[in-house]
Structure 1
């Protein structure tokens, strides 16, 4: 599958605030790509750069095989997006809103086509109700219908479940899955809720303070057969050098609290301990972490992110 989004070494600062810091990632055709990070991590800034709403300070963005710098208009015609809350005409009906936005996109509105769009987002029965009578979840779904009116290849959704009740979140989740499975759209969806990304995404990235922490397939990142092992030793530099040159070197990381961490199957943990003891490394503690909360906490700056990722 070809790349739909390629971001390389993207940087954006606002004064002294470095919002996006040397960020690179790739979204492939057919992905539901989760863009995960706490509030303020740089997600919305990145999305605004993807949509050419703000300019990056440096780095390259390629969308649908074209450079955003030179092919902006051609690219944007193939993208649908909902950023924060959709702008809608609240005194008009959903049908009338969709008709207006179709004309703005250069599309002659056809009754059957408009009703099909509303059916896809679960609003056909309320097609002629004024938008001011809609719940926030219904407004979000209508916003997605507007984003789909020109049949884009790529759909970008920025925190689409913000402010929704549990039913609204479930409806949005099913809609996003349907965009991929039924309409064959590539979808990038940002969120600060790990549980939502886990349920809808095929691939994902985690960013923190504008930097990429990890990227990969959701099934692999959350595979129950893998454990993240936190290792505390008396001679950290000696252990780091030893492990770097061993079979575990490719999965070795140094955490912010100066502990070492490795990703490995649980059956390898006793072998790791034996290896360290044999090489006269004093082990102070070995702790396995394989819950989602533990996993994300191990990748971000500290325990202050618990609420951001789990509530």
Structure 2
């Protein structure tokens, strides 16, 4: 079995003659890795997942699961995948256990009673597995969804927005389950727009914006506080100097304006060594600077900087 569990190459989905929902997406996933697929609503995350699992046809590109081409070996590829796309569906009038038995009957490989009990214990539903699903909370249904997705011991688990509707306790429990699965060698692709949660959950993240992959980041490059060597700088100037400040900053290499916080504050993305240069250029331009405050960059800060920059390039037609 290949150490690369999932590879997509140039995945593209086009609607009509000109509109591309996903454009030339490529990335790899390794065995036992949790990979986050991040982006705002409408970025193309769910469309990408639907193409990976074969729910919709792709316009261009290739999908490889454990080294096998999905186009050529579709059924054998999909048998290595467990997925929850959007909300998991169950027979509400049946117990959680009977639902799992029903999914087990549909599996290509025989699922033993021991495996059923093992999965129920893993997702911590032993206390309620004989209850009817209609009595389950949303978090319990999500856990039951994970249970049915891993019954057949897939190499790859794909979860689209699995934390939707979960309370903080449920989100933390799901995160712990996925880490246990990763320790058992199961790779998980998680789609979400919750940046802080993905930072805690994932080994790497792929950031999408308007159908394009604009960054792939390794979480090991962030320290235990979720920060990198890049800084977020808060700069305070007079209200009447804001436009001039922006002009000065845009003329400097290595500094990106993330956003205008209010009438007198700019939030910047830059490294620590550029702060003196920034200050010198502002003073030279007769900008009154009342303060420059910096902090380490989080995944959320990086995401905002990348997507803001990407939107600006698109506006300029680059």
User: Shared fold (TM-score greater than 0.5)?
Assistant: yes
Match of 2:216 in 1: 215
Distance 2:144 2:87 in 1: 11
- Would the aligned equivalents of 2:111 and 2:152 in 1 still touch at CA under 8 Å? no
How much has 1:175 moved relative to structure 2? 1.4
Greater CA deviation, 285-294 or 119-128? Answer: 285-294
Match of 1:201 in 2: 202
How much has 1:255 moved relative to structure 2? 7.2
Within 5 Å, give how 1:1-311 maps onto structure 2.
2-15=3-16, 17-181=19-183, 183-220=184-221, 222-227=226-231, 234=248, 252=254, 264=271, 266=272, 268-270=273-275, 290-301=297-308
- Would the aligned equivalents of 1:233 and 1:283 in 2 still touch at CA under 8 Å? no
Gap change, CA 1:256 and 1:57, over 3 Å in 2: farther
Describe the superposition over 1:223-255 as per-residue Cα deviations: whole angstroms up to 9, x where unpaired. 333326799555967x5xxx5xxxxxxxx5877
TM-score when normalising by structure 1: 0.79
Gap change, CA 1:45 and 1:169, over 3 Å in 2: same
How much has 1:283 moved relative to structure 2? 10
Greater CA deviation, 115-124 or 6-15? Answer: 6-15
Match of 1:309 in 2: none
Gap change, CA 1:2 and 1:287, over 3 Å in 2: farther
Distance 2:108 2:250 in 1: 63
How much has 1:26 moved relative to structure 2? 1.7
Task: Give aligned pairs, total.
Answer: 282
Gap change, CA 1:117 and 1:204, over 3 Å in 2: same
How much has 1:96 moved relative to structure 2? 0.9
- Would the aligned equivalents of 2:159 and 2:189 in 1 still touch at CA under 8 Å? yes
- Would the aligned equivalents of 1:82 and 1:144 in 2 still touch at CA under 8 Å? yes
How much has 1:108 moved relative to structure 2? 4.0
Could you list the runs of 5+ residues in structure 1 that have no partner in the other structure? 244-251, 305-311
Describe the superposition over 1:83-106 as per-residue Cα deviations: whole angstroms up to 9, x where unpaired. 111121111111111111111114
Gap change, CA 1:153 and 1:129, over 3 Å in 2: same
- Would the aligned equivalents of 2:196 and 2:300 in 1 still touch at CA under 8 Å? no
- Would the aligned equivalents of 2:256 and 2:305 in 1 still touch at CA under 8 Å? no
- Would the aligned equivalents of 2:249 and 2:278 in 1 still touch at CA under 8 Å? no
Cα RMSD, aligned residues only: 3.1
How much has 1:206 moved relative to structure 2? 0.8
Greater CA deviation, 218-227 or 76-85? Answer: 218-227
Provide the secondary structure at the position in 1 that maps to 2:94: coil
How much has 1:57 moved relative to structure 2? 1.0
Provide the secondary structure at the position in 2 that maps to 1:126: coil
Distance 2:8 2:248 in 1: 40
- Would the aligned equivalents of 1:137 and 1:168 in 2 still touch at CA under 8 Å? yes
Distance 1:175 1:283 in 2: 56
Match of 2:241 in 1: none
Describe the superposition over 1:259-291 as per-residue Cα deviations: whole angstroms up to 9, x where unpaired. 9x8754x2x2257559x97xxx97979885624
Distance 1:272 1:8 in 2: 41
How much has 1:200 moved relative to structure 2? 0.6
Distance 2:32 2:154 in 1: 13
Could you list the runs of 5+ residues in structure 2 that have no partner in the other structure? 235-244, 260-265, 312-318
